[in-house]
Amino acid sequence: MCSRRLQMSPEHIDNVILATCCLHNFLRGNSHAIEIDPSNNNQQTNNVSTIQDLRNVGGKATEEALHIREEFKNYFCTTGVVDWQTDMIRRGYTNQ
């Protein structure tokens, strides 16, 4: 979800951000809810960054919107990181 711009109204974006934060906090508080098998690590995905920067794909995102997204990205990749997050992202990249 965080690898491209969302094509929706600002009101809907606010709801998506709030839902994402709620889900993140819920999963972070219940980190045992998803078990990751560390022995099942696909070596091909070791260089995948947690949340990638956006490519310029058109659209007219405001400077403020890009700044807010950057703040969320920084939080979820540092202080707000959950232990299984990178493995789940890697699985998503290999299943595309």
CA pair distance 50, 81, nearest whole angstrom? 10
CA 31, distance to chain mean position in Å, is 16
pTM, two decimals, is: 0.36
- pLDDT (tens digit per residue) in 53-95: 655 556 667 788 888 888 888 888 888 888 888 887 777 766 6
Q: CA-to-CA distance for 36 and 88, rounded, in angstroms?
A: 8
Mean pLDDT of 19-26: 81
* Six token digits for residue 59: 């659209």
Rounded-to-integer distance, Cα 66 and Cα 71, Å: 9
6, amino acid identity? L
How far from the centroid of its chain's Cα atoms is residue 63's Cα?
20
